[in-house]
Amino acid sequence: MKKEIISANGLTKVYHRGSEKIFALKDASFEIAEGEYVAIVGPSGSGKTTLLNLLGCLDTPTRGSLRLNGAETSGLQEKDLVKLRRENIGFVFQQFFLLPTLTVRENIALPLLFSKKNDCKDKVDEILEQVGLEARAEHLPSQLSGGEMQRVAIGRALVNEPKIILADEPTGNLDSATARKIYELFQYLNDRGLTMIVVTHNVELAKTAHKVIHLRDGEIAQEASSHSLSRKTRR
C-alpha cells in the first residue's frame, strides 16, 4: 500500500466581506497517496484554487488540519512553512509568472537561489532535457511560445526535486494541441513517481488523473476515479 502524502481533515476557509462570511471551502476531508495523480474540478468559484493554495501552504485554513508528508502544518511559523514548501512542493501557475529578463535556464534555476543550492548546473541541464527545452536554454521568455513558457514553469517547479506538483489551471492559457503536450509531460512526471495535483476545467486533463475531486460551492461533491468521470462525461 502506498504511503499517504497529504491528509486533509475538515479543511475550511472563510473569507469576510464586510459582515458577510463567505465559505470558500467547507469541511474538505480526503487523502492523497504518494505518486497519485489527482485532478480537482468544479465550476468557477467552487473553491478549487482555495483548496490548492491550502495544500501548497500558501494560505492557512480557518479550521481543520492538513498533514503534508507526515508533518502537521497547522500552527507552523512562516519560516517553517517556507521550508516545507521548498522541500515538498513545486508550483505551476496558469500565468506562468516567468521573469522576463531571465533566460529559460535562469528561470528554471530561480528556486535554487532561494534554497541556497546555487551550484546545480547539472540539475538544471537534466530538467531542461526532461521538459524538452535544451535548445531554448539561453532564450528569454519573450522568445518562447505559450507551451514553451509553461514547460519552463514546470521545469522551475521540478528543480528543487519536490514530492508534489501543484498546478493551477496549467493549460488554461494554451491551445488544445499544446495543452495535450502538457498533459503528456504531467503523465511522464507522474510515471516517475511524482504526486500530481492539478486544478483544471479541462475534462481531457482530468481524465488522465487517478482520482478526481469534484468541488461545488466550497464542498467536496464527489471524490471518484477518473474512470467514473469518463462515464459521466459520456452520458
Partner 1 sequence: MNFVTLAIKNLLRRRGRTILTILGVAIAIAVLFSLLSFNSGYEKQLSGELNSMGIHMLAVPKGCPYEAASLIIHGGVIPKYMSNSDAEEIKKVDGVEIASPMLLHQFYKDGRPHIVYGVVMADMLRLKPYWKVEGRLFSDTEDSVIVIGRNLAEEEMAKEEKLSVGDVLPFGPYKIPFTVVGILERTGTQEDEFHFLPLPVAQRIFEKPDQITAVGIRVGNVSRISEVASRLEQIPDVQVVTMTQVMGTIMNLVGSARTLIISVIIVAIIISAVGIINTLLMSVNERTREFGMMKAIGASGLDIGKLVLIETLFITVMGGVIGLLLSTLGSSLIEGFVKGIIPYSPGGKLMTPEPGLVGLCLLFSIIIGFVCGIYPAIKSSRLTPMEAIRSNLE
Bridge partners of residue 31, in order along the sequence: 7
CA distances for 167 relative to 23, 56, 106, 202, angstroms? 22, 10, 21, 13
Instruction: State which of positions 150-169 bind partner 1 (CB under 8 A).
Output: 156-157, 160
* Pick 31 or 125: Cβ nearer partner 1: 125
The correct pick among 33, 76, 82, 203 for binding partner 1 (CB under 8 A) is 82
Name the one range near partner 1 by CB under 8 A: 33-41, 68-76, 86-94, 221-229. Answer: 86-94
Q: In this structure, are residues 23 and 12 in contact, taking their beta carbons and an 8 Å threshold?
A: yes
Which of these ranges, 3-11, 96-104, 128-136, 181-189, lies near partner 1 under the rule CB under 8 A? 96-104
Is residue 86 a contact partner of residue 159, using CB atoms and an 8 Å limit?
no
Minimum distance, C-beta of residue 223 to partner 1, in the bound complex (Å)? 24
Q: Which three cell numbers stand for residue 132?
A: 524538452
Candidates 74-82, 174-182, 195-203, 216-224; binding stretch for partner 1 (CB under 8 A): 74-82
CA distances from 83 to 1, 8, 69, 76, 173 (A): 28, 20, 13, 10, 30
Nearer to partner 1, 33 or 140 (CB): 140
Task: Check: CB of residue 226 under 8 Å from CB of residue 207.
Answer: yes
Q: Does 109 bind partner 1 (CB under 8 A)?
A: yes
Q: Are 38 and 6 in contact (CB under 8 A)?
A: no
Residue 97 sits in the site that holds partner 1 (CB under 8 A): yes
**Which CB, 91 or 183, lies closer to partner 1?**
91
The backbone torsions φ and ψ at residue 125, rounded to the nearest 5 degrees and listed phi first, read -60, -40
Binding residues for partner 1, rule: CB under 8 A, are 53, 56, 58-59, 78-79, 82, 85-86, 90-91, 93, 95, 97, 99-102, 106, 109-111, 113-115, 118, 156-157, 160
